[in-house]
Structure 1
Amino acid sequence: MPIIGVMGSGSSEWPDLAEPLGAWIAFHGFDLLTGAGRGVMLSTARAFASVPERTGRSIGIMPSKAHPLFGFAPIAGYPNPFVDLPVLTPLPRKETDDLESALSRNYVNVLTSDVVIALPGGKGTLDEIRLATRFAKPLICIGPIDAFESVPDGTRIASELDEVFAFIRCNTAANQ
């Protein structure tokens, strides 16, 4: 079953985009992968989980912090309550002051996804867009064009969800 990675803001939910996207992914039998946090991750996973009799799972790749007894522990607030399969990594979130080359859970998010969908977000989302480009993952962004000013040249930016849905269908047809 193909895994659709949805990346985006950890603070803004972008419900007009994230909710129909999450429901569509569930309705079509795909697995959903997010960073397991708030914002876009929460609203997409909540909509995904609301689809009755869905067959896919909501996978959440959680960042961690050092823990003296367990080695690593989830950061507070992770996973959100709509994650079916939480995956704790020994990797941190991408922080605003991190170098572009710093390792983070974003590598797991992108490399595990069969298709990457990016909604507006911050530095972490931009990092995931760059990683998807670097690793030749099928990638499409959705949202206002000015939300994607810093993406690599040639990045596909959609203005309508129907374009995203067609992109997912096209890039998963061989996997179904």
Structure 2
Amino acid sequence: MQVAVVGAGDYEERRCSLAMELGRKIAEGGHVLITGGLGGVMEAACQGAREAGGVTVGVLPGEKEAANPFVAVAIGTGMGHGRNAILVRSADVVIALPGLYGTLSEIALALKMGKLVIDLGDWNVDGMRKAESPEEAMRIAEGRGGEGSRR
């Protein structure tokens, strides 16, 4: 399964710690991690996945050289925020951590495309499934249940 992790591009310790653990869980499950390839949540998730032996893909807004050091496959789109559509279209499931408008656009696009979107933050957007931990997010993503409530 290809799992997109979306969230803020700036560093905040609690958020990035959560992203790193989520990336690790994705890799341990044998899944491919897709992110926007830059910093913050994206870099932390990639670091967790790579440290667990996983494959990471970065769908970048500009050139592939801008990828964080934990991206194994960098795709430079030159599309700015338009790359969000490629990122979520490439994923089987999207897990959203706290972020801003770029993250919100990824959530909206994924929901519009009929993707499973898991809220591992505080989004409160109709159609998302709520998870309280990276473990629960992955149980929901893998179809193994979890308490995740649909909004």
The bucket for the TM-score relative to the shorter chain is: 0.7 to 0.9
Residue from 128, 132, 138 that aligns with 1:155: 128
Match of 1:100 in 2: none
Alignment of 1:92 with 2:80, yes or no, is: yes
Q: What amino acid is aligned across from residue 133 of structure 2 in structure 1?
A: E
Match of 2:67 in 1: 79
1:64-75 equivalences in 2 (<5 Å): 64=62, 74=63
Residue from 76, 100, 103 that aligns with 1:125: 103
- Structure with greater helix share of residues: 2
Match of 2:4 in 1: 5
Q: Give the SS at the match of 2:27.
A: helix
Q: Does the 8 A contact of 2:111 with 2:127 survive in 1?
A: no
1:27-106 equivalences in 2 (<5 Å): 27-51=28-52, 54=53, 56-64=54-62, 74=63, 78-93=66-81, 104-106=82-84
Q: CA 1:91–1:159 in 2, change beyond 3 Å: closer, same or farther?
A: same
1:137 shift after superposition: 0.6
Q: What amino acid is aligned across from residue 8 of structure 2 in structure 1?
A: S
Distance 2:116 2:133 in 1: 17
Distance 1:142 1:12 in 2: 17
**TM, length-normalised to structure 1:** 0.75
Distance 2:142 2:111 in 1: 19
Distance 2:11 2:98 in 1: 9
Distance 1:16 1:62 in 2: 22
1:35 shift after superposition: 0.2
Q: How many residues align?
A: 142
1:165 shift after superposition: 1.6
Runs of 4+ in 1 over 6 A off after TM superposition: none
1:155 shift after superposition: 2.0
Structure 1: 5+ residue stretches without partners: 65-73, 94-103, 172-176
- The two structures, once aligned, show a CA RMSD in angstroms of 1.7
**TM, length-normalised to structure 2:** 0.87
Identity of aligned residues (%): 37
The structure having more radius of gyration, on CA atoms, is 1
